[in-house]
Amino acid sequence: MDALSPWAAAVKNLFHGQDLPILFRHDLKGYIIQVHHLANSLWISVTCPNETQVILRPAYAPNDQMQLEKIIKNQNGITILLSATIGSYRVKLELPDTEKPLIHYTTTLNANAPLLVPFWPRDMVITGPNDSSRDSKGTIHVSQVGTRSGLQYLTFDEPADGALLYFQNLTALNDFAEATETSLGNVVGGTWPELGLALPPTLKGKPLPPHRDIILSDAFLAFSSEYPKDEFMQAKQFLNLLGDIYVPLPKPDTAYYGWLDMVDQGLHDLEFSHGCWSHGAEQDYLNAYVADYQTPPELMVQLAVLLPLTDYYDWCKADLPAMEKIKNGLDAFYSKELKTVVRFLPALSSELSGDEEQLKPNVMDSWYLHHPLLNLGRLAIRGDKQSTQLFLDSLGFTIKVAHHFNYEWPVMYNMQTLEIVKKETQPGKGGEKDVAGLYALVMLHAWQLTKKNKFLLEAKKAAKTLQGKGFDLFYQANNTAFGANAMLWLYKETKEQLYLDLAYLSLANIFKNFQLWECNYGYAKNYPTFFAMFPLNDAPYTAAYEEQEVFAAMHNFLLYAQDEDILPSVSLLIPEFLKYILNRAPYYYPPNLPREMFSEEVKTGQIDHKLWIAIEDIHDGWEQSGIVGQEVYGAGVAFGIIPRHFYKVPDEDFMIYVDYPTAGYHYRKNHVSFLLKGNERLSCRMMIIKKQGIELPGFKVTGHEKAQTALHRKDGHVEYALQGNQQIKISWKW
C-alpha cells in the first residue's frame, strides 16, 4: 500500500462510508459535484462515473473550527462565506460550461492579523468509491515544472475512470507571492493520491497582510469520462481538456507595439554593432552572443539569423547588407573530409576552449547538425543555389549518422568516429528524443527538392521511432515544433493516422512547456509572461530564439493544416500562442526593460542595454535576467514576426496588422479579404496602420456578414476587435 500523509489519510477516512451533510449538489454529464462543510475545512467532492472520488479542499483553517456564515446560490454555482480565527474566507464555485464536466473555484482569504504560512497541505486527494475501502490508482502524466503552467494531467487507472486536467490559474495568486516574496514555481505537484496546489511556504518571514482580500486558489478542473489507452489518446485528451479550460480562463489584455520601428533599430544594431560580429578566416561572422569573441563562429548561428532575414527581405524587398555578409561565410563551414557542413568554422576549430564537452573539435550536439540543414533546405527550396549545394552535399553524412544511431540520437557524438560523447540528457532519460522529428523534416525538404523517394522513406522511418516517447518526447522546443510540422506533412502525403497522431503528440509536449499565467511580482512587473514557451524541459527561463522558431513553426503547422480536419483545441490554442508572443517578444529587447532587472554577471559575452538584440533568458520574477547572455542568433524575432502579421496593400499608404494568423489574403482595388483563423469564442486585434502624416480613408469591415465596430486611436490608427474563425472583408473609400 502506498504511504499517505496525515492529511490524505484523514480525507480517505472522511469520505469513505460516511453520510456527510451537503451544502450544494449538481449532476453534470455523469459527474456528481457536492460541497461539504466539516470541522476546519470546506470540501468539494467530484464523483466520477465509475465512482472515483476527487476531493478538493478550497478552504482550510489549521487547528481551528471554521464557521459557516452565509450561502449564496446563483445560476451556475454557489458562493460560501466562512470565518475562522485566522480570518474570513470566500469560496466561489462555478460551472462554466453546462455541456462539459468543468468546474472552477476561487478561494479568497481576508486575514485578521499578519499571517505566516510555514506549511499548507495540497488541495486535492484522489480516493476510491465512497462505499469501498479500495484505493484509486492512477498516473500523473504531466505536472508543473518550475514556473510553467500550474497544471497536472492525470488518468484514473483503477478503476478505469477517465482523466482529469487540474489547472491552477497562478495569475490570480500574484498578490500572495508579492506580499510573501515567494515564487509560484513548482507549487502544483505532489504524489498520488495527494496532488494539486500547496501554497509556497513563507520562509523569508514575509506575512500575508491583514484586512486585505488575497486569493489563495483559483482552480479549474476539466474531466473526461474516456479512459485514454495509449500515448496518442492521452496527447489528444490533454490538448482538448486544456482547450476546454482555456476558453473561460481569465486572460491578460494585449497591446500593439511598434514592430516596424523595432525592426529598423534591430537591423541597424545587427549590421553595425561590433559586438555582433567577429572577423576570422578572412570573413565576417555573427557571434552567438554579443561580445563573445572566444567561441569560433557557428553555422547554426549564421543560418538562424539568415532565414528570418530572408523572410523579411521577401516582405520588404529592401537592401539588407547583413544577408550578404552571412552568405559570404557559409561555404567555409563545409568539411570536404567529412562531406558535410559542421558546427564550428573548421579554420578556427583549434580555438575551441574545451571547457565543455561541446566545445571540443569534431564534437557534434545532435540537433546542431540538423537545424542548419533544415534552414539550408528551406533556402534551397526558395531557389538559393549556394544553400542547395551545401544541403545536398551534406545529406549523405546526415543519413549515415541516422542509420548508425538507428534514429535514436545521443546528446553528443564525435563526427569522425561516431563514438558517443554524451549519451543521455540525464541518467535514464535518453538522448535528444525529438531529433527524429527534426531529421524527418530535413528529409522531407530533400524529397521536395529532389523528388527522390529515398528521402520520403527516410522521413517515414525516423517518424516511426517517435512512438513510445509519450510526454517525454520534448528535448528542445523548436525541434519538437519542427517535428510536429514533419508529422503533419507526412499525414497529408500518406493519410496514415499514425503521423497525425504523432503530430498531436508533439504538440502536447510543446503545450505542457508553456507558462499560461501572467507573473506580476518582482522584476516581472516590467514585462508580460502569459503564454511564454520554455526552451528545454528543465530550463528555468524562457528564451527568445526558441520562441521565435516555435512561432514560425506554428505558423507553418497551420498552413499544413489548412485543408485538414484537425482538433478544434489545436485550432484554438495555436492562434492564441501566436497572439501572445506578439505581446511578449518586445520585452526580450533590453531597451524595453529597466536596467536593474539584468544580472551583473553574464555567462557569455556581455549585455549592452542600448542594443536592440534580444537577451536569451527571462527568469522568474524574483530573479534577474540576462544571465546567459544577449543572443545574436535570437535577432530574428522581429524579422520573423513582421512578414507574418503585417500585410501591405498595393498603392496605398496604410498596412493591415492582425495578431491572429490568417489564410487566403486577397487584394483587389479598394478591397481586401482573408480568412481569420482561431476560434469564434476568442478574439484578436486587427489594425489599419497609417503612415506618418497621411490621413486614412473611410473603412468598412465585415465579418460573419456583420459590420465590425472601429476604434479610432489617438495615434491615428484604426483598431478592430474580431472574433476568430471568420471571413473578413475590408473596403475603403477616399
Q: pLDDT (tens digit, 9 = 90+) per residue, 67-123?
A: 999 999 988 899 999 999 999 999 999 999 989 999 999 999 999 999 999 999 999
The rounded distance, in Å, linking the Cα atoms of 664 and 708 is 20
pLDDT at 529 over 50: yes
* pLDDT of 135: 82
| Owner of C-alpha cell 517517435 | 466
pLDDT of residue 349: 87
Across 265-284, average pLDDT: 94
Burial 169-207 (b: 16+ CB within 10 A, else e): bbbbbbbbbbbbebbbbebbbbebbbbbbbbbebeeeee
Residue owning grid cell 516596424: 260
Q: Where are the beta strands (DSSP E) in 159-200?
A: 163-168, 188-191, 194-197
Mean pLDDT confidence for 423-433: 93
Could you tell me the domains of the chain?
Answer: 6-246 (2.70.98), 259-642 (1.50.10.10), 649-733 (no CATH)
Name which of 133-137, 530-534, 600-604, 612-616 the model is least confident about. Answer: 133-137
pLDDT recorded at residue 12: 81
> How do residues 167-215 score in pLDDT, each as one tens digit?
999 999 999 999 999 999 999 999 999 999 999 999 888 999 999 999 9
Res 385 pLDDT > 90: yes
Q: Above 80 in pLDDT, residue 134?
A: no
pLDDT attached to residue 184: 98
Pairwise CA distance, residues 560 & 30, whole Å = 37
Q: Give the model confidence (pLDDT) of 4-31 as tens digits.
A: 777 788 888 888 877 889 999 999 999 9
Instruction: Give the neighbor-by-neighbor strand order of the sheet with 102-111.
Output: 67-74, 77-84, 87-94, 102-111, 213-224, 163-168, 150-158, 137-143
Please determine, for residue 443, whether its predicted confidence score (pLDDT) is greater than 60: yes
Residue 357's pLDDT is 81
- Band of residue 700 on the pLDDT scale cut at 50, 70, 90: very high
Task: Tell me how far apart the 2 most distant CA atoms of the chain are, in Å.
Answer: 84
Is the model's pLDDT at 1 over the cut of 50?
no
Q: Please compute the mean of the pLDDT values over residues 302-309 and round it to a whole number.
A: 97
pLDDT tens, position by position, 226-237: 999 999 999 999
* pLDDT confidence tier of residue 2, bands split at 50, 70 and 90: low
Mean of per-residue pLDDT scores for the chain: 95
pLDDT digits (tens, 9 = 90+) for 59-80: 999 989 999 999 999 888 999 9
Which pLDDT belongs to residue 203?
81
